[in-house]
Amino acid sequence: MERNLDLLVVDDDVDLASNLRDILEIEGYSTAVAHDGQTALALCHRKPASLALVDIMLPDISGVELIERLTELAPGMESIIITGHASLETAIEAVKQKLIVAYEVKPLDMDNILALTTQIIERKKMEKKLIEYEELNKLKSDLLAKVSHELRTPLATIKGYSTMLLNYEPRLWRKERHEYLKSIDSATDRLTTLVSHLLDMSRLETGLLKLDKAPTNISKLLEAIVAEAQLRTPGHNIVRHTLKRPLKVNIDSSRIRQIMDNLIDNACKYSQEGTEVVVSDQRSDHKLMISVTDQGVGIPADKLERVFERMYRIEQVPSPGTGGLGLGLAICKGLVEAHSGRIWVESKVDEGSTFYFSIPL
């Protein structure tokens, strides 16, 4: 992904603007040049900059007005006015109103420009790092709180039913003992899943996840995945639409199984019993595309871009037992991308969702 610009130079003096750009790029700053306000606005719309160096007198708009409009397009952008002695009062007034951080008088002192630019860019980088650190710190706190909550529930189940069996086992009916053991077994599975998700997320983020790829018959793999999913969720009808011809793909079959299990389980969680969940695979260009479609509650359009974020969960889910850390889809995304693939979702509220992922052949 191409990074944003460091600097935008706006001056109708072509030689001065080119000279500034060349010097700044030699110093390592990504720089764009515009010779009028409209071009500057178009550049900023496509690719915001951290800092703008703007001539106070432009052919189509005043430098101060341009800065106001640039700031609306890119709220974090800061600006330096380039002025002549005749317009110095305007520049000073702009500093007082905090529209700009500084002004430079022509003829320009390039050393001073460089020093000021470096100071502003480095400060902005430090501010960005501080924001990222605060966000990371908040994420860790939220994760710790959520992990504590999610672990306590199955642990309470295990502890409660174990105590019942230890203390009152002779008084319990055989059916009661069996139900308690089933609850303990289910809670243990939930704990195992939570721990596995945490470990997988950690491996993905640190780059320690290793794929064990091998040529795999995708039809046979999906057939086994669907059969196992049907046993886990007998209340849903899991249907498979498959390729006409068998296809071998170089994948880590255990990780593809993990992706599919998560997508199918989610489809069943968020749709009513008795509805269909359709698993499809098809060849598209030089890619294999797999999809999982449900007839569930759907996802609002404004939430589609966020469902693959860590710990993001859509509120007001209708079905019970849909707890978790909100890491499942984030892990799916990481595993698909580890296969050099892409994952996305299409959905309509009250009609259902289709999760797709593609991997290169």
The enclosing domain of 229 has a CATH number of 3.30.565.10
How many domains are there within the chain?
3
Percent of the chain with pLDDT over 70: 90
The enclosing domain of 82 has a CATH number of 3.40.50.2300
Per-residue pLDDT tens digits for 68-108: 888 888 888 888 888 876 566 766 766 666 677 777 888 88
What average pLDDT score do residues 193-208 get?
81
| Residues in the chain, total | 361
Note whether residue 319 is domain-resident.
Answer: yes
Cα 85-91-92 angle, rounded to 5 deg: 100
Note whether residue 116 is domain-resident.
Answer: no
Note whether residue 133 is domain-resident.
Answer: no
182 and 222 together in one domain:
no
Which class for 277: exposed (0-12), middle (13-18), buried (19 or more C-beta within 10 A)? buried
182 and 201 together in one domain:
yes
231 and 163 together in one domain:
no
180 and 223 together in one domain:
no
What average pLDDT score do residues 124-134 get?
84
Query: Do residues 176 and 355 touch, judged by C-beta distance below 8 A?
Result: no
224 and 320 together in one domain:
yes
Q: What is the DSSP-derived secondary structure letter of residue 55?
A: E
User: DSSP letter string over 60-128?
Assistant: SSBHHHHHHHHHHHSTT-EEEEEE-GGGHHHHHHHHHTTS-SEEEESSP-HHHHHHHHHHHHHHHHHHH
Domain that holds residue 97: 5-108
Q: Which of 24-33, 146-155, 189-198, 342-351 has the lowest mean pLDDT?
A: 146-155
Note whether residue 115 is domain-resident.
Answer: no
Q: Which of 206, 224, 252 is the last residue of a domain?
A: 206
Query: Do residues 4 and 50 touch, judged by C-beta distance below 8 A?
Result: yes
Q: What is the pLDDT of residue 316?
A: 47
Q: Rg of the Cα trace of the chain?
A: 29
Cα 63-69-72 angle, rounded to 5 deg: 145
191 and 263 together in one domain:
no
- Distance, in Å, from the CA atom of 169 to the CA atom of 155, rounded to the nearest integer, reads 20
Note whether residue 349 is domain-resident.
Answer: yes
